[in-house]
Amino acid sequence: MTDAARDVDRGRLIDVGPVELWVDDVGSASGDPVVLLAGADTPGFRWAPSFVDQLVAAGHHVIRYDHRDCGRSTSLGPEAGYLLDDLAADLVGLLDRLTIGSAHLVGRAMGGMVAQVMGLEHADRVASLTLLSTTAGVDDERLPGPDEGFVDKMMQRLYAGPPDDHAGRVQWLVELAESMAGTAYRLDLEAEVVLADAQLRTGWSPNSGHGGAAFGSPSRLERLGEIQHPTMVVHGTADPVLPIEHGKALALGIDGAVYIEVERLGHEAPAAFLKELTPSLLHHLAHARQG
């Protein structure tokens, strides 16, 4: 058994204005803050505990949270009509409540989109950006769409809907993880079952407004040159959701961005991958504050 869901029972709710967010922060409050922004419909505890431990050991104050409409944070549903700007405003409110001026933002997938909005609209609250498996425009026609096989699987899931029973829903979430994974790292099915069970027990819903926020927000492709923060872009060559061109476009558009291309990595961030990435990430964070 892995410790994949070790931190599921940690954290607290913090009122940030329009919503309450589930937040878990560890490490010294005087440490350089790092905020981990999860992907769509992904609770904050899914960031690998071993990754969090590495950042804390390096002296960082690490903050994980559930976006609105996810996990234990305020549930709004797909009709709420919020955008990435609103998710970024939630983060600004959270930083205010934690009395953090600026933080390093590590965002995966939708979390990386929110991080970009922060860099553009709330630049003074950002120390650096690390963008994992994300895009400047999820529906931008200048960038390729998802893998056709992946789209077919998602359409089948959409029409069928999730099972009614808990065990069936656990398997449903595990199958989603399988469909997004590449072959660079072995998918830990035992850990995925534990994580899916924890996700279902802490407020999972088959319907949220995250997709609407990502697809309804304008592309940032033309504005990437406005981002002035030290940025590292990491993308897998086997990402079935956001093909490699999305990562390349981010790296090309943001002046001075460091680009790391990971062979055969899909649209996932397994613990083994994050462990290998950590030395480069820590170097990036240290030089961002110095520069």
The reported pTM is: 0.97
pLDDT of residue 1: 40
Spatial separation of the C-alpha atoms in residues 33 and 101, rounded to whole Å = 9
pLDDT of residue 170: 98
Packed helices 49-57 and 271-290: angle between N→C axes, nearest 10 degrees:
30
CATH H-level, domain 12-290: superfamily = Alpha/Beta hydrolase fold, catalytic domain (3.40.50.1820)
pLDDT of residue 289: 80
Low-confidence ranges of the chain (pLDDT < 50): 1
Nearest alpha-carbon partner for 115 in 100, 133, 99, 97: 133
Which CA distances in Å does 76 have to 19, 109, 190, 288? 9, 21, 31, 36
Per-residue model confidence as pLDDT tens digits over 117-151: 999 999 999 999 999 999 999 999 999 999 999 99
Domain coordinates in residue numbering, the chain: 12-290
Per-residue model confidence as pLDDT tens digits over 168-214: 999 999 999 999 999 999 999 999 999 999 999 999 988 899 999 99
- Structural contact between residues 77 and 208, judged by C-beta atoms closer than 8 angstroms: yes
pLDDT of residue 2: 61
